[in-house]
Structure formats: structure tokens, C-alpha cells
Chains A and B, each alone.
Chain A
Amino acid sequence: MLSWTWCIPALPLAGFLLLAIFGGRFPKGATAAVGAGSIGLSFVAATAASAIFMVSPPGGGSFTLVLWQWITVGGFSPSLSFTLDALSVVMILVVTGVGFLIHLYSTRFMADEEGYSRFFAYMNLFVGSMLILVLAGNLLLLYLGWEGVGLCSFLLIGFWYKDPENGRSARKAFIVTRIGDVSLAVGLFLIATTLGTLDIREIAQKATSQWQTGSTLAVAVAALLLGGAVGKSAQLPLQTWLPDAMAGPSPVSALIHAATMVTAGVYLIARTNALFTLAPPVQLAVGIIGAAGVLVAGLSALTQRNIKRVLAYSTMSQLGYMFLALGIGAWSGAIFHLVTHAFFKSLLFLGAGVVILALNHEHDIYAMGGMARKSPFTFWMFLIAAFALTALPPTTAGFASKDLILALAWQSGSAGRVFWALGLAGVFVTSVYIFRLVFIVFAGNPRTAVAEGAHGGGGHAAGRDGMQAGAAMGIPLAILAALCLAGGFLSLPHDLGGTPYLLNFLHTALPAETMPETPLRTEWTLQLVSEAASVLGIPVAWLVYRRSRRVAAVAARPAAIVRFLQGGWGFDWLYDRLFVRPFVWLSRINRRDVVDRISDGVGGLFMLLSRAFRWTQNGRVRWYAAGLAAGAALIVAAVVLL
């Protein structure tokens, strides 16, 4: 029934191949059709697979499609297999669904750009890699997708490669996530050598039966996997690449932040939850990293001037909630928030993209303003996303998932109370930074002339409004907004009379939360408190906005604390001093020294040998014959004498 699911990742990959090989010769229309169409078909396939999966669930709640055995070497035989269970079903729907909307939007957004087919080739590869990652039944295959995602993020962040600054950002993203990748790779080696398998289900079984809870090995493996996850999901301490990743075009940011890439770390931890359950200290660390990330990133978002950097820090903060949920064992809660976050974050980025395009690629929010009148449609869409982000009614998406996480945190012991408090503070901060953004960008008077047909093509169309920008950009926004409004119904809290469909579904693949049932009264109280925090954020944001308007010199010299937050808590500064500069310094003083002599010596020796061997090859056949005969004589002598 489901044996054709291989085509879900194969379609985007085929699109990539097609565009990579023939893309240059395609007209734009064909490129767009292949680029967006392959993802669209993949979404259709994913929907069909999910429908079949839900109507007639396979035994054991998961379906494994073994494509083939890759190699068999020394008892190690990784197979290429896809696993379809509740977790991967949810993930493929999000990746292909949101991914398709972003692709659709890009057909218009990128219309004026050079390298149109290059863009869609990378985007298709990105989605294809992510699908391999989430469908992989084997950590080796997952690693393939993982690396593919990393490669594509590099290519897309540096898409406008002519500006060296973008190249630097791309390199930074690649190198920082690479640190996590190495950690993950070492973790895989450790798993393969100790358990003799990389099949995810076998790992869970073997680890649970062979390893003691809290044993060194379990902790080491979980910690290494966590290292990979924080790299990809931009959590402390490997978060510094994400704000710089804004160098890519807006749809890329939407894709990285919503459907692919950053969610990979959350997915990895949820997928290998058995290993984390065996390592309580690491699981606690996941929660601490998450809770800290919520606030660290949220406060940074408060002070940013670049519209996309605000959203980037917001992503880090929201991923913090997911890590927090994973840390307390609320695996399904984390995935639920991942889903709703995909809805509102992609809407925020795509909305920001419309604004940016309308203002001729202006990113500074202090140069914006009055966009509500210029682009009412975009304004409403953005506002809905902001409401969803802050978990305010009438949107339901963020509300249902975030309050679930906070309620579960409250219920899960004393560490959980601390997490809850930090998370609640995060709710308030979230509300302040996002409404600050909304007020500055959309309220007041325009500070930059809106591009009116100034630079042709999609630009002038987008200039007035998202809806007028054409269906390609407007429809994705509208659909995402609808998802933000209704997404919460996937799993409404039960004190509001909802049924947690999604959570029940996810529980067929992930262990259910072990927390005691939240009493109705507590749940109501918790919801009220967090709603109050969100609502309170709006007037505060208004005050911040008023102040920023009044104080004209905001740009001149911000206070030290603002600069500190703007720079992302000085992590970049710290890493620069801690790693980059010592490294550069070391390499500078090492330019001529012993170490160099050694490696030069090796190189020189090889060149010498190479030249010596070339010299023996002098072209004189009698030399060859003599050498050959001498060699033969030597060898025969060796035989006779030995």
C-alpha cells in the first residue's frame, strides 16, 4: 500500500537534477513549474501516504520500506530504508506543505533575480534532503539528509554570492553547524561500534536492553547527538550562525526557519528519544538549553534593527520552547509546536519578504513605517502571524502548542517549575518584540518611498501589496494565515473542549508524556497567566515604539545593554576572541615555524620522491629493461635466499 513512498523525497530530488542539468536552458516559466511543481507533487504524494497511513494504520504503528541493502562489510550492513510512522508523517506533511507554499511564493519573489533556476535547484535539493532526513529509518541515511540540508543552507544563504558579506555568512553557517555535525558523526560511530547497528528502531531496542539508565555510554551518545542537534537547530552554544543566515533571500529564510534545517535538531532528539531517556542528565541539559535559549534569543530580538534578524532571534527563541519540551519528555508537545511554528514563522518571513521587496530591499525597520496603509493585505497577514506567535486569540496555532508545553512544564517537578517561569517570561518578551516590530513597520508614516514600478518586474507589482503582487505571493500568505488561525484545532487543550488529535496520533510513535494529568483549574489558571503576559506585552511594545519614534537619535549610539543584546549577548564577540582570533594568531605565528617545516618537509620529500620516480622514467627503454631485470633478479634472489 505504501511501498511507493520513496517517491516523496525522489520527486524534489528529480526536480533538482532536472534543474541542475537543464535549468540553464529552461525559460523561467518552466523552471518555476519544475521547481514548485516537484514539491507540489511531493506534497500530494505525502498527503496520500498520510491518508492511507491514517485510514489503515500498519501494524505496530510504523511502516518500514527497505529499498535495498547498501553494503555488507564485517557484519555491518546498513540498509536504505524509509520509516513511515506518526512522527515522519507529520514531518513530511509540514516539510512538503509549507515547503510548497514557500516555493510558490518564490516563483514570484525571485522573478527578477539572476540564477532563477539555480535558486530552485538548491531549494528542491534542500526539501529533498530534509525529506530523506525525516523519512530515514537508519541513522546513516539520516546523516545523508542532514549533510544535504547543511550543504543547501550554505548554498542558499550565500545565494547572492557577489556580495562577499553573504559569502561570509554562508561560511559561518556552514562551519558552525559543522561543529555540530562532527559531534553527530562521532555519536554515530559510537553507536555503530557499541550496538553494531544504525537502524533507528534496533538502536532503541538494543540500547534500552543493554545500557543502564545514566550509564557513561548512554550519556556520551546522547550528548554527542545533542551536539549535532544544537548545531542544526541553532541553540546555545552553537546559535550564532542563525542571525547571519538572514543574508539569503527571504523565502530561503522561511524555508530554513519553518520547514527545514532548524527543525532537524528537534526531530533528531524526538526520533532518538529512547537514547535521551537513558541519559537523564543530557535530557535535563536539553531543557536548560531550551529555556535559556527562549530568553537569550527573545531579549536579543527586542533590540534588532533588521526586520529579518528580529525574526531570526524569534526562531531561536521558539526553538527554545521545543527544546524545553523535549527536555521534560514532552516529545509530542515539541513536535506540535514545531508544526504550528512552521505555520506562523513562514508567514512572518514571507510577509516580511513582501515588505522588503516593496521597499527595494530595505531591511532596517527604522526606515520603514506606515506599511499598514500601503499594504493592508500584508499587514493583516503579518498581524495574524504575530498573534499566532504570541499565542493570542483569535489565532489558535501558537496558543494550543505553547500553552501545552507550559502546562506540561508546570506539571513536571521542580525543574519544570523553573522552566515554566522562564518560558512565561519568554511569552512576555515575545509579545514585546513582535509588536514592537509590527508597530514600527506598519504604524505611523512611511519613511521610505515605496517602490512604485521603479525597478520593473515582480518588484513593482509587489510594491503595492501582497495581493496585487499576484496570486503566487498572495495565496501562500492567505493559506498560511488560515493555518495560523485554525492550526490549534489539531490539538486544542481539553479544558476548552478540544480533542488532542495530533497528540494522540503522535503518541503512536512517541512515548506519551509521563506527567500527571493537569487539573482543569490549574490549566485555566496557567492559560490565563500566560495570556496575560502576552497581552501585557502589547502596551509595553507600544511604549517602546513611541520612545523609538520620539528619540530620533536611536541610531546614533544605543546604550551598552542594547548593544549587548543587539549583538546576540556577545556570543559572536566571545567566539571571535576565544576561537577565531587565537586561531588566526596561531596560524600567523606558525607561518614559518617548526610545525610548518615538518609539513613542508613532508611535502618536499614527496615532491623529491615524485621527481626521483619521474627521473627513473627517463624514456630510455634500455634503462627500463635493466631496471626491470634488476628488480626481477632481486626478487628471485630474495626467494632463493629466504
Chain B
Amino acid sequence: MSMAPWMVELATAALLVLVLLADLVAPRGKRFVWPTFLGGSLVILGLAVFVRGDAFLLGGSYAADGISWLGKIVIVIGTILAGAVSMDSLPIQEKYHGAYAALLLAASLGMMVLVSSRELVTMYVGLETSAVSLYGLAALAKRDVLSLEAGIKYLVIGALSSGVLLYGLALVYAAAGTTSLDGIRAALGHAPSPLSAVGIILVLLGVGFKITMVPMHVWTPDVYQGAPTPVSAFISVVSKSVGFLFAIRLFSVAFADLRYVWEPFFMAGAVLTMTVGNLAAIAQPSAKRLLAYSSISQAGYLLVGFVGTSSAGTSAVLFYLFAYTLANVAAFAAVIAFSSSTGSDRLDDYAGLARRSPLLALVFTFALLSLAGIPPLAGFIGKIYLFSAAMERGYLWLVVAAALNSVASLYYYLLILRRMYFTEAPLGAGPLRVSFPVKAVLLLTTVGTFWLGILPGPLMQVVSEVSSRVFPGP
């Protein structure tokens, strides 16, 4: 057994130890923590991108394949970006920065395990590792009541849905007699038993918590609002992306032959999720809550991709995850830049931002427009692929519903633009001070958003190659 397939996980674990050591060296400061974190993460990113092989380990229960490769890249990129925006804007005491960085790494390590496993128990271990770390992250600003509350809520709802998921997994195991994904697929066959059908749906609900699918979305606004904003960004982007990869593994591999059992729930879930997300976002006064609802509706669009034909749908989902990651991180980074300079999260305070900080307003605009799906930004291409995958299966009504939702979402995205561009800034409001790491994140994500929108070919090629190999057989 060679080391290469484990490399990224091992490196992450090593970095976790290093960060804790750096914290020990300078216990009351962040002087060593963040350089260690960023330097190490960049090395890991290099590893994640360049170490790519197809290998099955531990008797096929752990894999280094296309999905895990892409998954790790998204996780590491998300971790780096979340770390970068955290450095100067965390509402916690400096002495906790080490713990914070370590928790981020622990969460991403758990997620890496999750996206790489091909077996239910390993998956669950990875899932819980990341979930527990995230609960801690959400509650880390412990002087802030909202943050504590967010942590508690996240924990309670997370435990509940974790129970649902575990129950579902148990039922699936009972029906199939194996925990290996390929084994489950072979054992369940093409005809569902009541046991397997209920199991699959409970698994869907459990996964629905991760990907904020209605009705499992209820925790989202409170947690996103209460948690430190970089943590919200991390949860909304990385945790959700991993949830979708998890769903791809389960539903496109293990339950692939029972498509007609779960597909109606995906369709209903897609429509409900985007509609609820969009409608609730309309009247939001808080920027973070608005982004929370917006990210719920984004999950709805992503669910559309599961309805599509296996290969086209999966590659559309993978592509959109990248587009969504870039745009959502940019949006959160803009919110972080705004709130750490003004201390406000109210959308009304964004009035006249274009006069105060034109570039910040501009990149925020691009992020929102990409989320809304306006060409030539990444979100547009992503939506085209998602919707056309559903069209190939003939689900016109679903595409119409999704397109209508996109239009509706434009309303609240444009409301922000209107505030920034067409209302007067309060008297005496000057330009905002944006820290360098946040600027860098904004720049990188905006460039990426344009890049994927104008030149989507290369990434599309990669994701379709990966998704064509997700499915072992016909």
C-alpha cells in the first residue's frame, strides 16, 4: 500500500498538529498560527491538486478517485479562503486563534474522510468528525450570545438529523447486509423493499441537513447569523459542497438503481428548497441571514442536477459547486469586509457603499450576480448545465420552476445593488478599511468567477471525466 493516496489526509493531520504546536510556542497570539496554517494549507492544496491516482484502499472501503480528488480540492480551497478571511476579522480573543485554526483543519480532515470513503461506517465517522468540529467553530465566539446560541442550535438539530441519518443507514444495512456502497447497489437490486425504501428516504433527510434541503434547513439562518461570519462562510460553502459529494456517492452509486424511489423527493425537495429560500430571503434585513437563505435556494438548484441523467447531472452538480463556492465565498468576504469595518450586518447600512468603497461594492455585485446566474459569470454557466441536464430527462416543469426561482432571486440580489449604488451614504461615512487577506480573497474569487464564466471548458472537461467514472457499470 503506497502512501500517495493518503497523502492529503496525512498532511492535513500533520498540519493540525503543527498548528497546535505553533499555538503552544506563542500561546497568547496569532503570530505563528496563521502563517503556519496558510503555508501548510497551500502545500496541501498543491498535494491535493497534483496527487491524483485511482486507488482503492482498505478492501475497497476507502478510495482515492475522481470524486475524492475534486472533493479534497474544494475542501482545501474552502479552508484556505475561510482561514484567510478569519485572520483579521474573528470576533474572538487572540488566544483562541490556535484552537480556531485547529478546528478548521479537523473539520476539513473529517470531510476529506467523508468524500473518500466508499463504505457507510467510514462515511459516518468522517461526517461526525467534521460535524463536531463545526459545532465548536460556530460557538467559538463565546462572549457573543448569538454565537453560543448558534452553536447549541447547530448541535441539537445536527444531532437530531444525525440520528435520522444513522437510522436510515441502519435500515439500508439491514436490507442489503453490507455497508460497502457497491455491495449495497448489488444487494438492493432494482426493486425496493419497504425496508430499503424507508432507509433511503431517511438517509436523504439526514443528508438534507448538510445540504440545507427543506425541511431540514431550519437551522441555517440562525446558525449563519450567529456564528462568526468566516465560520458561516465555511459551513455554507465547504460543508455544503461535501454534503453534495456525499449525496452523489450515495444516490448516484449505492442507490443508483432505485432512482425512481428517491427521484420524486429530490424534485420536490429542489422546488421547495429554492422557493422557500428565495421567498424568505426577500424580506431579510440582515446581510448574513440573506446569504443564508440565498444559500438554501442555491442548494435547491443543485438538487435539480440529481434529477438529470447520471453523467450530465453529476458533472453539472460538480461544476456548480465550484461556481457556488467562488461566488459565495466572495459574497461572505464582502460581508466580512463590511461588518468588520462598520460593525453592522444590516442591509440598510450598505447604502451608498458604491461611493464609499467602489471596488468592494463592485466585487460584491459580481458575486451576487453570479449567484443569480447572470452571464458571463460562473453561476450562469453552472445553471445552464444544471438545467439542461434536467431538460435531457424531459423535466421541463422543473426547469421552468428553477428558472422562475432564479428570476425571483434576482429581486433580492438587486435590492442589495440598489442600496449600494442608488442610495446616499450616511453623512460622514468614508471608505472602508479592508484588510489585505480579505482583499486577496475577494480578488481571487472574483477572478475565478469570471474565469469559469468566460472559459468554462477546462473545468467542465475535468468534471465530466470524473463523473463519467463515478458509475462503475451500466
Q: Which of B160, B216, B265, B455 contacts A68 (CB 8 A)?
A: B455
How far is A631 from B157 in the complex, measured between Cα atoms in Å? 13
Contact A617 B457 (CB under 8 A): no
Which residues from chain A contact B282 at a C-beta distance below 8 Å? 606-607, 610
CB-CB contacts below 8 Å: B268-317 with A? 276, 279-284
Task: Give per-residue flags for B322-345: 1 if the beta carbon is below 8 A from chain A beta carbons, else 0.
Answer: 000000000000000000000000
Chain B residues with Cβ under 8 A from A607's Cβ? 282-283
Q: Mark A599-621, 1 if CB is under 8 A from B, else 0.
A: 00000001101110110110101
Q: Are B279 and A613 in contact (CB under 8 A)?
A: yes
Once the chains bind, are B456 and A71 in contact (CB under 8 Å)?
yes
- Bound-state CA distance A275–B460 (Å) is 34
Known: A607-B283, A617-B280, A635-B265. Contact between A627 and B202, CB under 8 A? no
Q: B152 at the A/B interface (Cβ < 8 Å)?
A: yes
How far is B196's CA from A304's CA once the two chains are assembled, in angstroms? 83
A624 interface residue (CB < 8 Å to B): yes
- Chain B contacts with A in 205-222, Cβ cutoff 8 A: 205, 214-216, 218-219, 221-222
Partner of B153, one of A624, A635, A640: A624
- A334 CB, nearest partner CB in chain B, Å: 32
Quote the shortest CB–CB distance from B78 to chain A (angstroms). 25
At the interface, yes or no: B164 with Cβ under 8 Å from chain A?
Answer: yes
Tell which of A69, A611, A631 has the most Cβ of chain B within 10 Å. A631
Q: A559–B156 Cα gap in the complex (Å)?
A: 85
The total of chain B residues at the interface (CB under 8 A) is 43
Q: Is B198 in contact with A636, judged by CB distance below 8 angstroms?
A: yes
Name A67's closest neighbour in chain B (CB-CB).
Answer: B455
User: Which listed residue, B202, B216, B280, B283, touches A631 by the CB 8 Å rule?
Assistant: B216
Which chain A residue lies CB-closest to B388? A73
Judged by a CB distance under 8 angstroms, whether A629 is at the interface is yes
Q: Cβ of B222 and Cβ of A617 under 8 Å apart?
A: yes
Q: Which residue of A lies closest to B277 (CB)?
A: A613
Instruction: Determine whether A625 belongs to the interface, using a CB cutoff of 8 Å to chain B.
Output: yes
B194/A640 in contact, CB under 8 A: yes
Interface flag for A574 (CB, 8 Å): no
**In this assembly, does A2 line the interface, its C-beta being within 8 Å of a C-beta of chain B?**
no
Q: Which residues of A contact B455 (CB under 8 A)?
A: 68
Most buried by A among B205, B215, B281, B359: B215
Give the complex CA separation of A606 and B278 in angstroms: 10
Assess whether A621 is in contact with B157, with CB atoms less than 8 Å apart. Answer: yes
Interface presence of B130 (CB below 8 A): no
* Minimal beta-carbon separation of A570 from chain B (angstroms): 36
Separation of A629 and B159 alpha carbons in the complex (Å):
12
The verdict on A21 contacting chain B, using a C-beta distance below 8 Å, is yes
- In-complex Cβ contact of B156 among A70, A610, A621, A635 (8 A): A621
B388 close to A74 (CB less than 8 A): yes
Q: Contacts A621-B157, A632-B215: A613 and B201 contacting too (C-beta < 8 A)? A: no
| A580 close to chain B: CB less than 8 A | no
What is the 8 Å Cβ interface bit string for chain A, positions 621-642, against chain B (1 contact, 0 not)? 1001101111110011001100
Interface range on chain A (Cβ under 8 Å from partner): 20 to 34
Q: Which of A71, A73, A74, A632 has the most CB of B within 10 A?
A: A632
Residue contact A625 to B157, C-beta cutoff 8 Å: yes
B194 touches A613 (CB 8 A): no
Which residues of B, 367-426, contact A by the 8 Å Cβ criterion? 381, 384-385, 388, 391-392, 408
> How far apart are B221's CB and chain A's nearest CB, in angstroms?
5
Is B233 positioned at the interface, with any CB of A under 8 Å from its CB?
Answer: no
Q: Known contacts A621-B153, A621-B156: does B201 contact A636 (CB below 8 Å)?
A: yes
Q: Report the nearest A residue to B380, measured CB to CB.
A: A71
Partner of B283, one of A68, A614, A639: A614
Which B residues are CB-close (under 8 A) to A630?
A: 215
Q: Is B161 close to A, CB under 8 A?
A: yes
> Are B388 and A631 within 8 A (Cβ)?
no
Chain B residue at minimal CB-CB distance from A72: B460
A21 to B160, CA, bound (A): 50
Q: Which of B157, B218, B456 contacts A617 (CB 8 A)?
A: B218
Contacts of B218 in A (CB 8 A): 616-617, 624, 627-628
B441 at the interface (CB under 8 A from A): no
| Binary interface encoding of chain A residues 70-101 relative to chain B, with 1 for a CB under 8 A from any of its CBs, else 0 | 11111000000000000000000000000000
Q: Which of A68, A73, A627, A640 touches B385 (beta carbons < 8 Å)?
A: A73
| Inter-chain contact B456/A70, CB cutoff 8 Å | yes
Contact partners of B216 in chain A: CB under 8 A: 628, 631-632
For the complex of A and B, the 10 pairs showing the least CB-CB separation, nearest first, are A631-B215, A613-B280, A624-B218, A610-B283, A610-B282, A73-B388, A639-B201, A621-B153, A609-B279, A610-B279
Contact surface of A with B, Cβ cutoff 8 Å:
21, 68-74, 606-607, 609-611, 613-614, 616-617, 619, 621, 624-625, 627-632, 635-636, 639-640
Chosen A-B contacts, 25 in total, with CB atoms closer than 8 Å, are A68-B457, A70-B456, A71-B384, A71-B456, A71-B460, A73-B384, A74-B388, A606-B279, A610-B280, A610-B281, A614-B280, A616-B218, A617-B222, A617-B280, A619-B222, A624-B156, A624-B218, A625-B157, A628-B216, A629-B160, A632-B216, A639-B198, A639-B201, A639-B261, A640-B194
